[in-house]
Amino acid sequence: MITAKKRVEEVVNDMAGIAGKVDLKKGELTVSYAEEVDDERIIVRIEKAGYTVTGCKG
């Protein structure tokens, strides 16, 4: 069974040049990237996977 944490990380990590790590204690996803990326691209991918993004710090 795949967990929500793992699925969200996979969705983000499948994007070229982007890496994501979920922290369940904080309820946050930390994203690292090699080049500038539009936050909306990441948000759309996560939401298409069936999850809700409640905020974005950038």
CATH of the domain at 40: 3.30.70.100
What is this structure's pTM? 0.88
> 2 falls in which pLDDT band (50, 70, 90)?
confident
- Whether residue 20 lies inside any domain: the answer is yes
- Mean pLDDT estimate for the chain: 94
Q: What is the tally of structural domains in the chain?
A: 1
Question: So what's the pLDDT on residue 39?
Answer: 94
- Whether residue 43 lies inside any domain: the answer is yes
| 4-13 and 39-48 helices, crossing angle to 10° | 140
- Whether residue 38 lies inside any domain: the answer is yes
- Whether residue 28 lies inside any domain: the answer is yes
Question: So what's the pLDDT on residue 4?
Answer: 94
- What's the average model confidence in pLDDT over 12-22? 96
Task: Provide the domain limits for residue 30.
Answer: 4-48
C-alpha separations of 34 from 15, 31, 37, 46, 53 in Å: 11, 10, 9, 19, 22
**Listed range (17-21, 33-37, 42-46) with the worst mean pLDDT:** 33-37
Q: What is the CB neighbour count within 10 angstroms for residue 15? A: 15
